[in-house]
Protein backbone atom coordinates (compact mmCIF):
# COMPACT_ATOMS: atom_id res chain seq x y z
CA UNK A 1 0.00 0.00 0.00
CA UNK A 2 1.12 3.54 -0.74
CA UNK A 3 -0.59 6.75 0.34
CA UNK A 4 -1.72 8.89 -2.57
CA UNK A 5 -4.97 10.48 -1.41
CA UNK A 6 -5.21 12.22 1.97
CA UNK A 7 -8.30 13.39 3.82
CA UNK A 8 -7.91 16.26 6.28
CA UNK A 9 -10.65 16.68 8.88
CA UNK A 10 -10.71 20.25 10.14
CA UNK A 11 -10.01 23.37 8.07
CA UNK A 12 -8.52 25.62 10.76
CA UNK A 13 -4.95 26.89 10.75
CA UNK A 14 -3.49 23.41 11.25
CA UNK A 15 -5.87 21.45 9.04
CA UNK A 16 -5.73 24.02 6.27
CA UNK A 17 -1.95 24.14 6.55
CA UNK A 18 -1.65 20.34 6.35
CA UNK A 19 -3.98 20.27 3.32
CA UNK A 20 -1.88 22.98 1.64
CA UNK A 21 1.35 21.13 2.40
CA UNK A 22 0.03 17.79 1.10
CA UNK A 23 -1.30 19.34 -2.12
CA UNK A 24 1.96 21.21 -2.76
CA UNK A 25 3.78 17.89 -2.43
CA UNK A 26 1.57 16.21 -5.01
CA UNK A 27 -1.00 14.38 -2.88
CA UNK A 28 -4.69 14.48 -3.75
CA UNK A 29 -6.48 16.10 -0.79
CA UNK A 30 -10.06 16.07 0.51
CA UNK A 31 -10.53 18.88 3.06
CA UNK A 32 -13.60 18.64 5.29
CA UNK A 33 -15.16 20.77 8.01
CA UNK A 34 -18.61 21.21 9.49
CA UNK A 35 -19.49 24.37 7.53
CA UNK A 36 -18.83 25.43 3.95
CA UNK A 37 -17.46 28.80 5.06
CA UNK A 38 -14.67 27.07 6.98
CA UNK A 39 -13.38 25.03 4.03
CA UNK A 40 -13.82 27.94 1.63
CA UNK A 41 -11.92 30.16 4.06
CA UNK A 42 -9.08 27.63 4.22
CA UNK A 43 -8.79 27.51 0.42
CA UNK A 44 -8.81 31.31 0.31
CA UNK A 45 -5.95 31.38 2.82
CA UNK A 46 -4.04 28.76 0.83
CA UNK A 47 -4.48 30.77 -2.37
CA UNK A 48 -3.33 33.91 -0.56
CA UNK A 49 -0.16 32.22 0.66
CA UNK A 50 0.61 31.06 -2.85
CA UNK A 51 -0.04 34.53 -4.27
CA UNK A 52 2.72 35.81 -1.98
CA UNK A 53 5.01 33.05 -3.28
CA UNK A 54 4.19 34.12 -6.83
CA UNK A 55 5.06 37.72 -5.99
CA UNK A 56 8.42 36.52 -4.66
CA UNK A 57 9.01 34.44 -7.83
CA UNK A 58 8.98 31.22 -5.77
CA UNK A 59 5.96 29.80 -7.59
CA UNK A 60 4.22 30.26 -10.92
CA UNK A 61 0.51 30.87 -11.55
CA UNK A 62 0.28 27.46 -13.23
CA UNK A 63 1.81 25.76 -10.19
CA UNK A 64 -0.69 27.52 -7.93
CA UNK A 65 -3.61 26.34 -10.06
CA UNK A 66 -2.26 22.78 -10.05
CA UNK A 67 -2.10 22.81 -6.25
CA UNK A 68 -5.66 24.14 -5.92
CA UNK A 69 -6.95 21.50 -8.35
CA UNK A 70 -5.56 18.80 -6.06
CA UNK A 71 -7.73 20.05 -3.16
CA UNK A 72 -11.42 19.19 -3.03
CA UNK A 73 -13.57 20.63 -0.26
CA UNK A 74 -16.60 19.18 1.47
CA UNK A 75 -18.76 19.33 4.57
CA UNK A 76 -19.63 15.64 4.28
CA UNK A 77 -17.34 13.10 5.93
CA UNK A 78 -18.71 10.46 3.53
CA UNK A 79 -16.36 11.99 0.94
CA UNK A 80 -13.44 10.48 2.86
CA UNK A 81 -14.50 6.98 1.70
CA UNK A 82 -11.79 6.65 -1.02
CA UNK A 83 -8.83 8.18 0.84
CA UNK A 84 -5.75 6.24 1.94
CA UNK A 85 -5.06 8.34 5.04
CA UNK A 86 -7.24 10.65 7.13
CA UNK A 87 -5.50 13.27 9.27
CA UNK A 88 -7.76 14.59 12.00
CA UNK A 89 -7.04 18.20 12.96
CA UNK A 90 -10.07 19.30 14.98
CA UNK A 91 -10.53 20.80 18.45
CA UNK A 92 -8.38 19.34 21.26
CA UNK A 93 -11.20 17.54 23.03
CA UNK A 94 -10.90 13.78 23.47
CA UNK A 95 -14.60 12.98 23.23
CA UNK A 96 -15.10 15.12 20.11
CA UNK A 97 -12.13 13.43 18.47
CA UNK A 98 -13.33 9.94 19.45
CA UNK A 99 -16.74 10.70 17.98
CA UNK A 100 -15.10 11.74 14.71
CA UNK A 101 -12.99 8.56 14.61
CA UNK A 102 -16.07 6.42 15.26
CA UNK A 103 -17.81 8.01 12.26
CA UNK A 104 -14.72 7.69 10.06
CA UNK A 105 -14.45 4.00 10.94
CA UNK A 106 -17.85 3.37 9.37
CA UNK A 107 -17.12 5.45 6.27
CA UNK A 108 -13.58 4.54 5.22
CA UNK A 109 -12.31 1.30 3.71
CA UNK A 110 -10.61 -1.25 5.98
CA UNK A 111 -7.12 -0.30 4.78
CA UNK A 112 -7.48 3.43 5.47
CA UNK A 113 -5.09 4.74 8.11
CA UNK A 114 -6.36 7.24 10.68
CA UNK A 115 -3.87 9.83 11.91
CA UNK A 116 -4.48 12.43 14.59
CA UNK A 117 -2.73 15.78 14.74
CA UNK A 118 -3.34 15.94 18.50
CA UNK A 119 -0.47 17.59 20.35
CA UNK A 120 -0.80 15.54 23.53
CA UNK A 121 -3.83 13.24 23.73
CA UNK A 122 -3.81 9.45 23.87
CA UNK A 123 -3.70 7.73 20.49
CA UNK A 124 -4.79 4.52 22.21
CA UNK A 125 -7.93 6.25 23.52
CA UNK A 126 -8.73 7.59 20.05
CA UNK A 127 -8.16 4.15 18.52
CA UNK A 128 -10.63 2.61 20.98
CA UNK A 129 -13.45 4.35 19.07
CA UNK A 130 -12.60 2.28 15.96
CA UNK A 131 -12.52 -1.32 14.85
CA UNK A 132 -8.98 -0.81 13.45
CA UNK A 133 -6.74 0.23 16.37
CA UNK A 134 -3.74 -1.18 14.50
CA UNK A 135 -4.28 1.48 11.81
CA UNK A 136 -4.57 4.48 14.14
CA UNK A 137 -1.48 6.62 14.67
CA UNK A 138 -0.50 10.06 15.88
CA UNK A 139 0.72 12.46 13.19
CA UNK A 140 1.60 15.61 15.08
CA UNK A 141 2.53 18.41 12.70
CA UNK A 142 3.79 21.72 14.06
CA UNK A 143 2.52 25.21 13.32
CA UNK A 144 2.86 26.41 10.61
CA UNK A 145 2.89 23.03 8.82
CA UNK A 146 4.43 24.44 5.64
CA UNK A 147 7.52 25.65 7.51
CA UNK A 148 8.07 23.47 10.56
CA UNK A 149 10.15 20.44 9.61
CA UNK A 150 9.14 17.95 12.30
CA UNK A 151 6.30 15.44 12.51
CA UNK A 152 5.90 13.27 15.60
CA UNK A 153 4.64 9.80 14.62
CA UNK A 154 3.06 8.33 17.75
CA UNK A 155 2.36 4.67 18.37
CA UNK A 156 -0.85 3.76 20.16
CA UNK A 157 -0.92 0.54 22.14
CA UNK A 158 -2.06 -1.47 19.10
CA UNK A 159 -0.53 0.58 16.26
CA UNK A 160 1.18 -1.79 13.83
CA UNK A 161 4.72 -1.45 12.49
CA UNK A 162 3.25 -1.19 8.98
CA UNK A 163 1.06 1.76 10.02
CA UNK A 164 4.04 3.55 11.57
CA UNK A 165 6.04 2.89 8.40
CA UNK A 166 3.33 4.21 6.07
CA UNK A 167 2.63 7.24 8.26
CA UNK A 168 6.35 8.05 8.40
CA UNK A 169 6.62 7.69 4.62
CA UNK A 170 3.64 10.05 4.17
CA UNK A 171 5.34 12.61 6.42
CA UNK A 172 8.54 12.26 4.40
CA UNK A 173 6.53 12.62 1.22
CA UNK A 174 5.36 15.97 2.56
CA UNK A 175 8.98 17.00 3.05
CA UNK A 176 9.03 16.49 6.83
CA UNK A 177 11.36 14.66 9.19
CA UNK A 178 9.40 12.06 11.19
CA UNK A 179 10.42 10.95 14.68
CA UNK A 180 8.70 7.92 16.19
CA UNK A 181 7.26 8.18 19.70
CA UNK A 182 7.46 4.57 20.83
CA UNK A 183 5.08 4.85 23.80
CA UNK A 184 1.72 6.60 23.89
CA UNK A 185 2.55 9.02 26.69
CA UNK A 186 0.87 12.40 27.35
CA UNK A 187 2.69 15.25 25.64
CA UNK A 188 4.77 12.94 23.44
CA UNK A 189 8.28 14.45 22.99
CA UNK A 190 8.10 18.14 22.16
CA UNK A 191 5.23 19.19 24.44
CA UNK A 192 6.62 17.20 27.33
CA UNK A 193 9.79 19.28 27.04
CA UNK A 194 8.16 22.57 26.01
CA UNK A 195 5.25 22.83 28.46
CA UNK A 196 7.42 22.93 31.62
CA UNK A 197 9.31 25.83 30.02
CA UNK A 198 6.06 27.69 29.34
CA UNK A 199 4.69 27.13 32.84
CA UNK A 200 7.96 28.06 34.56
CA UNK A 201 8.19 31.24 32.47
CA UNK A 202 4.70 32.22 33.63
CA UNK A 203 5.62 31.52 37.26
CA UNK A 204 8.70 33.76 36.89
CA UNK A 205 6.36 36.57 35.82
CA UNK A 206 3.90 35.70 38.60
CA UNK A 207 6.69 35.96 41.20
CA UNK A 208 7.73 39.38 39.88
CA UNK A 209 11.19 38.19 38.85
CA UNK A 210 11.05 39.43 35.24
CA UNK A 211 8.66 40.68 32.56
CA UNK A 212 7.45 38.56 29.63
CA UNK A 213 9.50 40.79 27.31
CA UNK A 214 12.72 40.26 29.24
CA UNK A 215 12.11 36.52 29.63
CA UNK A 216 11.64 36.19 25.87
CA UNK A 217 14.83 38.16 25.27
CA UNK A 218 16.75 36.05 27.78
CA UNK A 219 15.59 32.78 26.24
CA UNK A 220 16.29 33.89 22.66
CA UNK A 221 19.75 35.23 23.41
CA UNK A 222 20.74 32.82 26.19
CA UNK A 223 19.37 29.58 24.73
CA UNK A 224 19.47 30.56 21.06
CA UNK A 225 15.75 29.83 20.60
CA UNK A 226 14.14 31.60 17.64
CA UNK A 227 11.15 32.63 19.78
CA UNK A 228 10.69 33.20 23.48
CA UNK A 229 7.99 31.30 25.45
CA UNK A 230 5.48 34.16 25.54
CA UNK A 231 5.93 34.99 21.87
CA UNK A 232 5.48 31.31 21.03
CA UNK A 233 2.35 30.94 23.19
CA UNK A 234 0.84 33.95 21.41
CA UNK A 235 1.79 32.49 18.04
CA UNK A 236 0.28 29.04 18.63
CA UNK A 237 -2.72 30.22 20.69
CA UNK A 238 -2.70 30.84 24.43
CA UNK A 239 -5.68 28.55 24.98
CA UNK A 240 -3.81 25.65 23.35
CA UNK A 241 -1.18 25.81 26.10
CA UNK A 242 -3.94 25.68 28.73
CA UNK A 243 -5.63 22.71 27.03
CA UNK A 244 -2.34 20.80 26.86
CA UNK A 245 -1.35 21.62 30.45
CA UNK A 246 -4.82 20.66 31.71
CA UNK A 247 -4.64 17.33 29.87
CA UNK A 248 -1.19 16.58 31.28
CA UNK A 249 -2.37 17.51 34.78
CA UNK A 250 -5.53 15.39 34.53
CA UNK A 251 -3.51 12.41 33.29
CA UNK A 252 -0.74 12.63 35.89
CA UNK A 253 -2.27 14.57 38.83
CA UNK A 254 1.17 16.16 39.12
CA UNK A 255 0.97 19.81 40.24
CA UNK A 256 3.90 20.76 38.01
CA UNK A 257 1.40 20.72 35.11
CA UNK A 258 -1.14 22.97 36.84
CA UNK A 259 -1.72 26.12 34.76
CA UNK A 260 -0.81 29.29 36.69
CA UNK A 261 -3.58 31.86 37.15
CA UNK A 262 -2.18 34.50 34.74
CA UNK A 263 -2.60 32.29 31.67
CA UNK A 264 -6.11 31.26 32.76
CA UNK A 265 -6.99 34.95 33.12
CA UNK A 266 -5.81 35.65 29.57
CA UNK A 267 -8.05 32.90 28.18
CA UNK A 268 -11.05 34.16 30.17
CA UNK A 269 -10.42 37.63 28.76
CA UNK A 270 -10.34 36.29 25.21
CA UNK A 271 -6.69 37.24 24.77
CA UNK A 272 -5.70 34.13 22.82
CA UNK A 273 -2.67 35.51 21.00
CA UNK A 274 -2.04 36.89 17.54
CA UNK A 275 -5.27 35.49 16.10
CA UNK A 276 -7.34 37.69 18.45
CA UNK A 277 -5.00 40.69 18.32
CA UNK A 278 -3.84 40.28 21.93
CA UNK A 279 -2.36 37.62 24.19
CA UNK A 280 0.65 38.14 26.43
CA UNK A 281 1.41 41.03 24.08
CA UNK A 282 -0.80 43.43 22.11
CA UNK A 283 -0.81 43.19 18.30
CA UNK A 284 -3.43 45.82 17.45
CA UNK A 285 -1.01 48.74 17.43
Q: What is the dihedral of CA 166, 169, 170, 174, to 10 degrees?
A: 180
119 is catalytic: yes
Annotated active-site residue 191? The verdict is: yes
- Is residue 20 part of the annotated active site? The answer reads no
* C-alpha torsion sign, points 230, 233, 238, 240: negative
Given 152, 168, 239, 241, the catalytic residue: 152
Phi, psi of 91 (to 5 degrees): -55, 140
Q: How far apart are CA 273 and CA 276, in angstroms?
A: 6
Residues ≥6 apart with Cβ < 8 Å to 229: 197, 198, 201, 215, 216, 219
List 116, 120, 168, 191, catalytic entry: 191
Instruction: Write down the catalytic residue from 119, 120, 241, 259.
Output: 119
Active site residue 162: no
Distance CA 74, CA 76 (A): 5
Q: Which residues are catalytic?
A: 119, 140, 152, 191
Amino acid sequence: MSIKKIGVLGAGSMGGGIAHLAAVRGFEVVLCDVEQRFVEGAVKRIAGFMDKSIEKKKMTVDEKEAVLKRISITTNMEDFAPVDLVIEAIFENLEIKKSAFEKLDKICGPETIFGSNTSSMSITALASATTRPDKVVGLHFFNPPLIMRLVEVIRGYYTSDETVKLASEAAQGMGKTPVVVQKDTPGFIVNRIMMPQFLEAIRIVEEGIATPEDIDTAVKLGLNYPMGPFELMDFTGVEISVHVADYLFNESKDMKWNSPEPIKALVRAGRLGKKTGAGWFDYKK
